[in-house]
Amino acid sequence: MVLLPLRLQQVLAATQSHGTVADIGAGDGQLAIGRARRDGDLVIATEIGGSYTRLVAAVSAVPEVHEWIETRNGQSLDPIMRGEVTTIVIAGMGGHRIAGMLPDALARQPTSIVLQPMQHAEAVELAIAEQQCEVDAYDVCRDRGRSYTVWRLVRREA
């Protein structure tokens, strides 16, 4: 079993157990595979273009998680329907890109959203404030000589 990098361990820890998770821009599927192994809940892992092909190959190489991971090809949050998932994870992208995706993520009405930018965390922090999101958890970890910020946002009750 592959050990997740510390930043992805922090993201995984921020995802709440029980419920469907959307891993947006899943890359090589490490987080999706880790979540499927940990909880046995459905993970929808999304990617686009050639990255989607690599994602499918990575997930296919781990047969014990096949029934728990659904891969989808599509841009940003387009592959995810409103109300379809409990948690949306957007990790491993630039802060400005994540900040631009936050309103669309909120429109999908998940119970929680986990964000982890690779740089420009201040852009994410500003977007969280602008969208008046409720921060349920916040952490900073050091991994391979860099600092990574992880937020878990929760839907405000009306």
3-state secondary structure of 60: helix
Per-domain residue ranges of the chain: 6-154
The full DSSP string for 63-103 is GGGGGGEEEEE-STTTTS-TT--SEEEEEEE-HHHHHHHHH
Listed as ranges, residues in the chain with pLDDT below 50 are none
Report residue 82: phi and psi, to 5°: -60, 130
Please tell me the pTM assigned to this model. 0.95
* CATH of range 6-154; options 3.40.50.150, 3.60.150.10, 1.20.1090.10, 3.40.50.300: 3.40.50.150
- Find tokens 């991971």 and name the residue: 69
How far apart (Å, rounded) are the C-alpha atoms in residues 91 and 98? 8
Q: What is the pLDDT of residue 158?
A: 55
How far apart (Å, rounded) are the C-alpha atoms in residues 15 and 143? 19
Q: What is the pLDDT of residue 80?
A: 98
- Find tokens 């387009």 and name the residue: 78
Q: What is the pLDDT of residue 34?
A: 93
User: Distance of CA 157 to CAs 83, 109, 137, 154, Å?
Assistant: 15, 11, 17, 9
Q: What does the DSSP 8-state code read for residue 140?
A: E
Residues 6+ apart with CB under 8 A from 157: none
Interval 45-90: pLDDT, tens? 999 999 999 999 999 999 999 899 999 999 999 999 999 999 999 9
Residues 6+ apart with CB under 8 A from 112: 15, 16, 86, 87, 88, 136, 152, 153, 154, 155
